[in-house]
Amino acid sequence: MKSLRARAVVGGILSAIVIIALGITGLASLGLRQTEQSFDAMLERRHEVVIAVVETYRTTPDMLARRITDPDFQRPFSGEYWQIQAPDGSVLASPSLQDMRLPVIAQPDDAQENRSLRMPDGQTVRNIGRLLQFDDGQSWYVQVASSLQRLQDNQTLFRRNLLVTFGVVAAVGVFGALLQVTLVLRPLNALRRDVARRWQGEDGLDIAEYPTEVVPLVNDINSLLERNREISHRSRRQAADLAHAIKTPSAILRNALEELRQDGHDMQISLDALDRLDAQLNRSFARMRADGKAEMPVILDVSAALDRMVRAFDALARNAECSLIAEIAPDMHTRIEPSDFDEIIGNLLDNAVKWSKTQVRVNAFEQDGLLTIVVADDGSGIAEADMAFVTQSGQRLDTAQPGTGLGLAIVKDLTHAYDGALGLERADTLGGLAATVTLKAAIPPQS
């Protein structure tokens, strides 16, 4: 598990589960004990009430039953019972007992007895019995019993309420853990966005915007950004110096070959080789420029740039007796160097005009945050098996046509350098090749 968020969430949930489980166990034990103690205390109070009635009305036994007025003792089989054993052995019982009787003690002592009994109807009751000794020598044995079903019902209700309460507490705890993780990781998320936004920029990260614990990481990232910018600047300078250093000897060599050709020598093979060398160098320099961008590419008005390129190739298309038709959506923008964009579209238009028969179409639109530019022609197209072959360096399917075979390879390299893609397929309408360039759309700068 490599995600800090996942670790924090899982750790928080597990710790919350352990704490809640311990809490439930402890509170359940305490609550059940208190419920049982309350049950026993209520039984004790009822026993004391019956004892008080016996102490007051023992001389008039007929009055005893009428003076114990608790409704639970009056309702048949209510689960609350009393029973009094008189000195002469007669037994008085609560109406709730009906025909049942609590066990009669043959020789009770004066100690209070607490015990559980099973009644004839199958219910279990908790019974308290006590022998009352009076000065006149009379002994009365007073019992009170209460069904344990009531205790069990109370305990079940307590457990249910406890689970509901802890369920709510658990939900709040999990939500709190997620909220805490979100708040703790917010600076890291902000750091990730800032790094992505400033990776190619000139500004470093502002240390004051981050918590103290993240400051060492921010310092390291600033150092890495600065190092990256230095490497990028150096790479671009080296690429530019190398390009200038090679262009002059190449131009001199080309002029010498042209002079030899004018003198009647067949220099076409040498000129073709020089053309391929220049194209390969241009491709390498284009890749170095794209891969070593020192600054964030500008936001280019794609609609205007495409319109300019179409107008520039329109004359070339007319010379080739070909019509160039463009449908370009307005207000399209992307982050790309203008020279790289011109090289991408220029290569595609050059190939399309070269291989078309009568028509080249350019369609450009924006959808779902992506710019799509399609350059299609009505030429012979490319076989499906050769689609990947033509984007490789210097691969030409028809050597009779002029060219170096690097145009589509350069387009592929440049589009990939800007996180885009190049797709090749047969044009549905025109029947030739349809080259599709996809780039990420960008929000135009506010004027």
Say if pTM beats, i.e. exceeds, 0.85: no
pLDDT value at position 397?
Answer: 42
Q: Is 70 exceeded by the pLDDT of residue 383?
A: yes
Contact 34, 162 (CB under 8 A): no
Q: In the numeric block, which tokens belong to residue 386?
A: 């050769």
Helix (H) or strand (E) holding 337: none
Question: 326-355, pLDDT tens digit by residue?
Answer: 999 999 999 888 888 998 999 899 988 988
50 neighbors 142 (Cβ within 8 angstroms): yes
Mean pLDDT of the chain, nearest integer: 80
Contacts of 379 (CB under 8 A, 6+ apart): 352, 355, 356, 357, 432, 433
Confidence bin at 373 (pLDDT 50/70/90): very high
Q: Which amino acid is at 363?
A: N
Q: What is the pLDDT of residue 305?
A: 93
Q: What angle do CA 226, 231, 232 make, to 5 degrees?
A: 95
What tens digit of pLDDT does each residue of 279-316 get? 767 666 666 665 555 455 678 999 999 999 999 998 88
The Cβ of residue 177 has, within 10 Å, a number of other Cβ atoms equal to 18
Instruction: Decide: 407 and 355 in contact? Cβ < 8 Å.
Output: no
- Cβ neighbours of residue 337 closer than 8 Å, sequence gap 6 or more: 289, 290, 293, 297, 298, 300
Strand, helix or coil at 46? helix
**In a 3-state reduction of DSSP, which class is residue 151?**
helix
